[in-house]
Structure 1
Amino acid sequence: MKFAYRFSNLLGAVYRQGNLSFSKDGNAVISPVGNRISVFDLKNNTSETLPVSTSKNITCVGVSPDGSVAIVVDEDGAALLVSLVTRAVLHHFHFHKPVNSIRFSPDGRKFVVTKDNVALMYHAPGKQRKFNAFVLDKSYYGPYDETTCIDWTDDSKCFVVGSKDMSTWVFGAERWANLIYYSLGGHKDMIVGCFFEKDSLDLYTVSQDGTLCVWESDTELDGLVLKKSRDKPELLKQREEGEEEEEEERLEGEEGEVIRGKAGPPKENTKNVRYKQRSKHFFNKEGDFNNLTTAAYHKPTHILVTGFASGIFHLHELPEFNLIHSLSISDQRIASVAINSSGDWIGFGCSGMGQLLVWEWQSESYVFKQQGHFNNMASLAYSPDGQYVATGGDDGKVKVWNTNSGLCFVTFTEHSSSVTNVTFTSSGFVIVSASLDGTVRAFDLHRYRNFRTFTSPRPAQFSTLAVDSSAELVCAGAQDSFEIFLWSMQTGRLLEVLGGHEGPVSCLCFSPVQSILASASWDRTVRLWDMLDSWQVKETLHLTSDGLSVTYRPDGQELAVTSLNGEISFWNSQNATQTGSIAGRHDLEMGRKETDKITAKQSAKGKSFTCVCYSADGESVLAGGQSKFVCIYNVKETMLMKKFEISCNLSFDAMEEFLDRRKMTEFGSLALVDEGAGDGDGVNISLPGVRKGDMSSRHFKPEIKVTSLRFSPTGRSWAATTTEGLLVYSLDGSIVFDPYDLDLDVTPASIRKQLRLQEWTSAIVLAFRLNEKALKLEVLETVPHEQIAVVCSSLPDIYVEKLLGFVALCLEKSGHLQFYMTWAQNLLMLHGQKLKNRSGALLPTLQALQKSIQIHFDNLSKLCDFNMYNIRYAEALSKQRGMKRAAASEEEEEEEEEEDDEGLSEGMSEASFEEAEMIL
């Protein structure tokens, strides 16, 4: 089995904190999620998490005007220059202090960073490779308090900076003779947003108390005059004078006495830039709690969007301050607002709810609406075809995610307490969830409703759940009464209460091939219950410590059990004998909490694996627990194969092995020293064994841990619910080169030679030995359709499985549906008996093939239904038109007959008149 799993996507979290940004074309939202960056494509309705991460949570993101690079800054001021094209980190930089905002100039040549009370202007990284991508150009001083926001003029000549000291500062990006800096007041609270008008120096400033000031400049952008440097005989004197002038400007800015900037004695006919307040407006506010928290301005359409702490946002048209729209999206604080380039879509981020919305203000409808779990995720389950993932969280919600798009498409909110476990039935259309509210609920994925609710005779908190392979029996274990409750899915009736455990039931699992239930408990036993023989205990497995998790191998012949002492033990399910064990405690490598008074090594002695699952082929197990590591063990060799570090985010607790010496004082660790009262009793040390932090604590830091693990039924990926979210790791075949039975004769040239000679079987064998995806695709699609059956019959047995797996992979994304279906059909029909003998090893391949066919079936069925309705409509329309034509033609015929009759009568009268004349 391959272990080259790479981080693929982050589900379950769409926004945490920081500023939102739109891509250049306005069709994608770039959102910071913890210490990672997620890109949500609004046109194709997909999400992607970049394979880059910072050491702490991201606070601000700056995207270049051409959309090719982004600068990502975390809480400590560590910055990454990330390519949005190649998804690679180009440069590392450290600002040494927290950064409040970052903004590129419209021409893309420079960017400004604000930290403390300073604005730093850097040369933006260009296309030429440089040793240092960030070169400091100028430092701008002036504000007395922290700077909060930045905006540039359209021609990149000036920028404006807002501050917490209620002032706004306009700086020149170059050495202008009539503008060095200009300070604006007029507010009574910190500045939240400051914006230039389009192609103008006119300003809008917005403060936290809901005040908007409109500033008018007496100078146009074309009126800025460059300062001419004095001619000096030597270059050294020029540099010295330049340094002196910079020092003078810096000192003037630090003193803050000058209100309007002037550069020495002004030249003749050069007038300094002046501002005057044209008007002042106030937002309707409902009290002190309804502070204005964020603002964004779209210059071409003159639309100002403001978000408030109460979850309300306003749209105003400036400079008249006409209210266009007002809406409440939640009762939580709106943390970030962004407008796309066309001005149609507005993005909102709520950090309290973990919510990301994109709203189209003209049609007043949501383009995108996603929300992660409010608290920690407790469990996950894959659907049988691997297309969907269901997650349950401490917020009482059950969410279903699409693994292809990475988005949640349905949320069930019927539970009133934490969801402890979720699972799919064998059909894949029913999700069953257990909760601490004393109910087990079944949800239908066809109608998106809760159609069954299972309860116990007396209230019980259900901590675990299992459904048998026939989807007829549902059982749940209680953590307070030590009992297992058994219900019928069809009738919803309670069938039996299984008693016998002497401790809380920690995990339940049905055998995939027999009607046997395995239950692990804290009483140091695993009991096997026979569902066909009056629900009696068939076997009892005695453990050396409390049982935490139990799972069956896919063929049902083996059990894996994790216990409190950190061991993973393996048992033969037929004769109830132990076949092996793994001591995994030393692989957990638990970090040290800030408030721990013992070392990480001592703390790790009390840690264990809390979740375990078998791989799709049953050869290895995946284990995780109270640690940032997930381990893959080989069952047969009982050895560690690979460790995955699921997070490097130092914003979580228990990440570092040793205490930071910079946080050590003479009284001990800074985290243990109370900053408030002098008695030192204010710091609450968490009790031993407490896994969840206190949300009301002033110093709340969530602890990194893994709560649930599952392998995908296709075997190509696995997922883990962690403190950070739902992490998905998958095999990336395009990066990993894995040849098979390679020698000097196997080259692309020799493969193409066999194709020219029409030796199809030989070409396929050589291509699979080289194992390059593009070459295999070229060879396979060159084979004529009528030759597929002949090639499949003459293919060696060892390449049948490889070809079947490759066909399953291509079928998922290729448009040649009939071609690849023909390949799959011939391989299965001609080699069915041989494949049946290796059904266990081939299970992931067959499930991947089934998943691909199911995707095409769903898409085609929708298309056929749509076309059928269109054809019916066209047929009815044509019939209606035919009837109208028939009616019209009948009317025309009648009119012609009437005309003929009239003409005939007229002709007869004329003839009779002539005859009468002749007679006379």
Structure 2
Amino acid sequence: DFRFSNLLGTVYRRGNVCFTEDGFQLISPVGNRVTVFDLRHDRSHTLQLEASYDIEHIALSPDNALLLAVDCKGEAHLVAMATGAAIARQKLPSRVSALAYSPDGDYFAMARDNRVHVYHGPGLERYFNQFKLYRSYYGNRDEVTSIAWSSDSKAFVCACRDLQVRVFSLHKTARLPGCYSLGGFTEDIVGVAFLPDSLNLFAVSSAGFVMLWQCDTELSDLLIKQQQQPQLTDGTGDDNDDSPSDSEDCDLKETKNEENKPGLEKIFINKLRYLKPKKMRLREDAEDSKRVSAVIGCLAFCPGSKQLVCGTEDGRVMLYAVDNCALLLSLQVCDSQVDSVSISPDGLWIAAAGAAHGQLLVWDWRASAYVMRQAGSFNCLRCAAFSPDGGQLVCGYSDGRVRLWSSQSSLSFATLTEHTSCITGVRFCGKRVVIASSADGSIRAWDLGRYRNFRTLVSPTPLQLSCLDADPSGI
């Protein structure tokens, strides 16, 4: 019975990583599959899902029961976390640029081009098509890059490439009949989020500027205008309709006739109003007033602790307090771009992933220690071999690295970097010795007790070795 068991050799390829609600598991897209890392027991397993293309977006339901994964070509997969199998698939007309589950788990939002489509979250009821479209939202003039929900799932906010932030109400309400547009940025918006238990929100630009907007409306005031819910449709009908809805062209106009009250400067006129934003800058050093010099490429927000974690293009991960943008942590994790960051619900663990080296790590910022640090290789895997007992796997890569993996935990526990060229062959000699040949013309042997290169064999004439074999007994 040759069924798929687990995935070794790499831990991250592209897309976003996320924690489970308990914070003890980390979910990472690895090519066209998804791997779950158990941080408490130091092991991992790969789900049975196998997409046609590399997975680019993942979103986990609040009860950790369902995982929504979307590949780079726009095919969505609904996966049961208990079994790891895909229970529903949906081919979408175009690529998905943002994905987010609502906090109550009843809906999930999916952005395609300049539109946001909200679907009903799968429940106990069975449908022929699990992707039931609830409503489509218009009004954005460019591609949506980020989506975030309010804590009660009544509203969501999205950031667009037109440098605007727009707030939408999930249901039609009298306080917010359409969308509310907020601007002021001159650089690309990396991410946006609501503050907990309010409609106050903030957005972060790639240059390190933060804008914080205060809202004069409470979440409880967003009452549903129509008690009758929109009729359910399948995911292939109104989803492709390009006709504008009630919320299109609903940009708010500046106030002209209303008097400004002291301490309350209102810049928009509508039943729901946001005050003039508070603009702050992310600092590069806690004792220095210099702002962040590197470009911010990704971010994540923890509502419970009100902490913001950012990943930069020069390989740094920085943790800030949202209220005053105070720097809490600055960590250099790699020498290339950080492509995705995530923070655990309790705000203690920070996950960072980089596609350049296939690196994935989890850092406990209060204990100043690594919880997990794994790295594959962006270069090709050239050769591999199992140990005699099958408990370990040695892999050779085209960048000259040799990595050792555990078959039980599926985690890498050693990296050997003495070779200077492509690895052409690897073998186990007994249980404690690993040998590898390389295109640099040498054969090296390592002792797995101390991971020491105790012997090097070099050909008398310069040549490239193409293969390797050895006596498995180690004699």
1:174 pairs, out of 158, 171, 175, with: 171
The equivalent residue for 1:195 is: 193
1:406 pairs, out of 410, 414, 418, with: 410
User: How many angstroms does 1:174 deviate by?
Assistant: 1.1
The equivalent residue for 1:283 is: 282
Figure out how many residues of one structure are paired with residues of the other and give that number.
Answer: 447
> 1:110-151, CA deviations, whole angstroms, 9 ceiling, x for partnerless residues?
111011000111111111211221111111111111001111
The equivalent residue for 1:333 is: 337
- Whether 1:345 and 2:342 are equivalent positions in the alignment is no
1:131 pairs, out of 117, 122, 128, with: 128
For residues 469 and 82 of structure 1, the distance between their equivalents in structure 2, rounded to whole angstroms, comes to: 42
TM-score (norm 2): 0.89
The equivalent residue for 2:19 is: 22
The alpha-carbon distance between structure 1 residues 277 and 333, as it changes in their structure 2 partners (threshold 3 A), is farther
- Whether 1:109 and 2:112 are equivalent positions in the alignment is no
Q: Is the 8 A contact 1:302 1:317 kept in 2?
A: yes
For residues 281 and 322 of structure 2, the distance between their equivalents in structure 1, rounded to whole angstroms, comes to: 13
1:216 pairs, out of 214, 217, 226, with: 214
The equivalent residue for 2:433 is: 430
- Whether 1:250 and 2:240 are equivalent positions in the alignment is no
User: How many angstroms does 1:21 deviate by?
Assistant: 1.3
The equivalent residue for 2:65 is: 68
For residues 162 and 416 of structure 2, the distance between their equivalents in structure 1, rounded to whole angstroms, comes to: 46
The alpha-carbon distance between structure 1 residues 406 and 259, as it changes in their structure 2 partners (threshold 3 A), is farther
The equivalent residue for 2:271 is: 272
For residues 223 and 292 of structure 2, the distance between their equivalents in structure 1, rounded to whole angstroms, comes to: 45
SS in 2 for 1:7: coil
User: How many angstroms does 1:26 deviate by?
Assistant: 1.2
The alpha-carbon distance between structure 1 residues 131 and 258, as it changes in their structure 2 partners (threshold 3 A), is same
The equivalent residue for 1:304 is: 308
2:3 pairs, out of 6, 19, 24, with: 6
The equivalent residue for 2:262 is: none
Structure in which a larger fraction of residues adopt helix: 1
Over the aligned positions, Cα root-mean-square deviation in angstroms equals 2.5
For residues 84 and 228 of structure 1, the distance between their equivalents in structure 2, rounded to whole angstroms, comes to: 36
User: How many angstroms does 1:229 deviate by?
Assistant: 7.0
Q: What are the within-5 Å matches in structure 2 for residues 462-481 of structure 1?
A: 462-469=465-472, 471-472=474-475
1:389 maps to amino acid? L
For residues 438 and 279 of structure 1, the distance between their equivalents in structure 2, rounded to whole angstroms, comes to: 62
Q: What are the within-5 Å matches in structure 2 for residues 549-560 of structure 1?
A: none
The alpha-carbon distance between structure 1 residues 380 and 171, as it changes in their structure 2 partners (threshold 3 A), is same
1:304 maps to amino acid? L
The alpha-carbon distance between structure 1 residues 469 and 222, as it changes in their structure 2 partners (threshold 3 A), is closer
Structure in which a larger fraction of residues adopt strand: 2
For residues 225 and 447 of structure 2, the distance between their equivalents in structure 1, rounded to whole angstroms, comes to: 72
The equivalent residue for 2:458 is: 455
1:206 maps to amino acid? V
The alpha-carbon distance between structure 1 residues 259 and 58, as it changes in their structure 2 partners (threshold 3 A), is farther
Q: What are the within-5 Å matches in structure 2 for residues 485-500 of structure 1?
A: none
1:53 pairs, out of 28, 45, 50, with: 50
SS in 1 for 2:245: helix
SS in 1 for 2:88: strand
User: How many angstroms does 1:258 deviate by?
Assistant: 3.2
The equivalent residue for 1:204 is: 202
1:379 maps to amino acid? C
> 1:88-113, CA deviations, whole angstroms, 9 ceiling, x for partnerless residues?
21111122110012111111111110
For residues 242 and 164 of structure 2, the distance between their equivalents in structure 1, rounded to whole angstroms, comes to: 23
For residues 81 and 119 of structure 1, the distance between their equivalents in structure 2, rounded to whole angstroms, comes to: 19
SS in 2 for 1:222: helix
1:250 maps to amino acid? S
Q: Is the 8 A contact 1:289 1:310 kept in 2?
A: no
The equivalent residue for 2:363 is: 359
For residues 417 and 398 of structure 1, the distance between their equivalents in structure 2, rounded to whole angstroms, comes to: 11
2:170 maps to amino acid? A
User: How many angstroms does 1:355 deviate by?
Assistant: 0.6
For residues 12 and 155 of structure 1, the distance between their equivalents in structure 2, rounded to whole angstroms, comes to: 41
For residues 341 and 17 of structure 1, the distance between their equivalents in structure 2, rounded to whole angstroms, comes to: 22
1:75 maps to amino acid? C
> 1:635-690, CA deviations, whole angstroms, 9 ceiling, x for partnerless residues?
xxxxxxxxxxxxxxxxxxxxxxxxxxxxxxxxxxxxxxxxxxxxxxxxxxxxxxxx
Q: What are the within-5 Å matches in structure 2 for residues 655-804 of structure 1?
A: none
Q: Is the 8 A contact 1:292 1:307 kept in 2?
A: yes
Q: Is the 8 A contact 2:402 2:416 kept in 1?
A: yes
- Whether 1:96 and 2:93 are equivalent positions in the alignment is yes
> 1:515-568, CA deviations, whole angstroms, 9 ceiling, x for partnerless residues?
xxxxxxxxxxxxxxxxxxxxxxxxxxxxxxxxxxxxxxxxxxxxxxxxxxxxxx
The equivalent residue for 1:868 is: none
User: How many angstroms does 1:469 deviate by?
Assistant: 4.8
User: How many angstroms does 1:468 deviate by?
Assistant: 2.6
2:82 maps to amino acid? V
User: How many angstroms does 1:335 deviate by?
Assistant: 0.7
> 1:685-730, CA deviations, whole angstroms, 9 ceiling, x for partnerless residues?
xxxxxxxxxxxxxxxxxxxxxxxxxxxxxxxxxxxxxxxxxxxxxx
The alpha-carbon distance between structure 1 residues 249 and 48, as it changes in their structure 2 partners (threshold 3 A), is same
For residues 78 and 359 of structure 2, the distance between their equivalents in structure 1, rounded to whole angstroms, comes to: 26
For residues 468 and 247 of structure 2, the distance between their equivalents in structure 1, rounded to whole angstroms, comes to: 70
1:59 maps to amino acid? E
Q: Which has the higher contact order (CA 8 A, sep 6+)?
A: 2
Q: What are the within-5 Å matches in structure 2 for residues 222-261 of structure 1?
A: 222-228=220-226, 250=245, 253=248, 255=249, 257-259=251-253
The alpha-carbon distance between structure 1 residues 138 and 449, as it changes in their structure 2 partners (threshold 3 A), is same
For residues 332 and 344 of structure 2, the distance between their equivalents in structure 1, rounded to whole angstroms, comes to: 20
2:252 maps to amino acid? V
1:191 maps to amino acid? I
Unaligned runs of 5+ in 2: 232-237, 256-268, 285-289
1:214 maps to amino acid? L
User: How many angstroms does 1:289 deviate by?
Assistant: 8.6
User: How many angstroms does 1:470 deviate by?
Assistant: 5.1
TM-score (norm 1): 0.47
